[in-house]
Each structure stands twice: as C-alpha cells, then as structure tokens.
Amino acid sequence: MMTLDEHAARSRLRDVAPVYKLFYALPPIAMVLWADSIVFSLLVLLLMGITVVVKGGVRPVDYLRWLTLPAGFLLIGTIAVAVDASASPEAFIVSAPLGGVHVGVTSAGLAMAAHLCFRALASVSCLYVIAFTTPVADLARSMASVGLPPLFVEMTLLVYRFVFQLFDTSSAIATAQKSRLGYAGLQATFRSLSALASNLFVFSARRSEELYVAMECRGYDGAIRVLAPTSGARQPSLAGIALVEAALLCVAVATHFGRLF
C-alpha cells in the first residue's frame, strides 16, 4: 500500500498553494464539531472524499482503504460510549444481567456513539484532503513561511517521518514472521504478536538512530532544508472556496437549529 506522502507527491492538487487547501479543509472541521449532525457529517465526508478522489486523482479503493484505518479505531472506541449499566432492564434495547445490574445498549447511548463516530470520521476526511494532496515537505515550508518556530516545524517533520518508520518496521517484522508460519494457529499468533510488540520499539529506535547518522553524513546542522519547487504554486479561485464554505456553513446552521433534517 502506498504511503500518504507517495499519494501526495502524485496528486493532481500538489501544485496548489497549501494555504488554499488549508482554507478549504480546516473550516469544515469546526462546522462538523459545532453542528453535531450525522447528515452534515456525511455531507462533509462525501465532499472531502470527492475532492481527494476526483480532483486529486487518488483511486477510490486506496482512499477507502486509508479511511478504514481511523474508522476501525472509531468503531472500537465508540462501543464504550454506547454501553451503559442500570438496575432496570427496560431502558435498554439489548441488555444482559451482570452481577446485580443490567449491562446493555440504550437508544440514547447508541445515538451519542453514532454522532461521535461520524463527527470524528468527517473531521478525519478533512485532514485527509491535506494529507493526500500536500507532501510533508511542502507543508513544512508553508508552516515556516507563516512564521511558525523552526523547532516546531522540524519536530513535525521528524515525528511524521518516525511514525512511518514505525509502520515500516512493523510491516517488515510481520512479513518475516509470516514467512516462518508465525501466524499459523492461535498459539503461534499470540507468540508472534508478543515478539512483534517486544521487538518493535527496539528495531525502530535502531533505525531512527541510523536515520540520524545518515542525516549528519549529508550535512545536517540542526535545520532540515528541503528543495522548493521551481515553478510557482497554482492559486485556485478564492471566491469559489469561499462559496463552498458559505454553503457548508448555511447547511451547518440549518442542521444545528433543526431547520433541516
């Protein structure tokens, strides 16, 4: 599976100035959190998905595959929100006795979990617009141009790189374990997962140290410098972006105050 930076490097929106992409993707996050509407969250989720797939040129299967990663964590995390405990079983849709109380799912808890899940997923889709269309080097250059501290920009670059270093190391260890039938059977699976967890950070720390040595060999003096593109960044219509944001704001206000849906 391609990394996010590879998708961003190939995106048809890469040459768009990052500040325009921030103006397009960040305000809907605030609207989603404020509106607290499943319909509005789905609208933003669909709009951002179309932007990444149609305008950015990312294959739908790749986008959906990346979207399932946060969706899986959200589903697991919101289960706890939907579950409640009470002495009376009448309040639950589905419940089971546990000790002296009943544990189950209420309609209010289920609605709260659904709202939370869709709000978070819509917010992630907004951030994906930036992640799928802007290489981290371009983003760092934009952060530096607006006056953010160099230390903050450098830490952002290193954390981003080391997160993928962790994923690469995990994938390499898992591939080696699978080639030795490490996941053939439940007992072997638990043993392989235990070895993966215990060795992951050791190998990641070693590879991070090797990366730092490689940076020093290339003249690293405390500042990470990246090449700027030779051609000027494309600047889309600011009026078009403002029109989309205004339309989303109108729908957010309507859904929040119950005048729509």
Residues 127 and 239 placed together within one structural domain of the fold: yes
Q: In whole angstroms, give the CA distance from residue 152 to residue 74.
A: 28
Domain, as residue range, for 164? 142-218
Residue with the bigger pLDDT between 231 and 57: it is 57
User: What local confidence, expressed as pLDDT, does residue 208 receive?
Assistant: 76
Domain assignment of residue 226, yes or no: no
Indicate the pLDDT class of residue 232, thresholds 50, 70 and 90: low
Residues 201 and 105 placed together within one structural domain of the fold: no
- pLDDT tens digit sequence for 247-257: 999 998 888 88
Domain assignment of residue 224, yes or no: no
- pLDDT tens digit sequence for 147-170: 778 778 878 777 877 777 777 778
Name the residue type at position 42: L
Q: In whole angstroms, give the CA distance from residue 222 to residue 149.
A: 13
Query: What values do phi and psi take at 101, rounded to 5?
Result: -130, 175
| Number of domains the chain is built from | 2
- pLDDT tens digit sequence for 10-43: 888 888 888 888 889 989 999 999 988 889 999 9
Query: Six-digit token pair at 101?
Result: 């109380």
Query: What values do phi and psi take at 83, rounded to 5?
Result: -85, 135
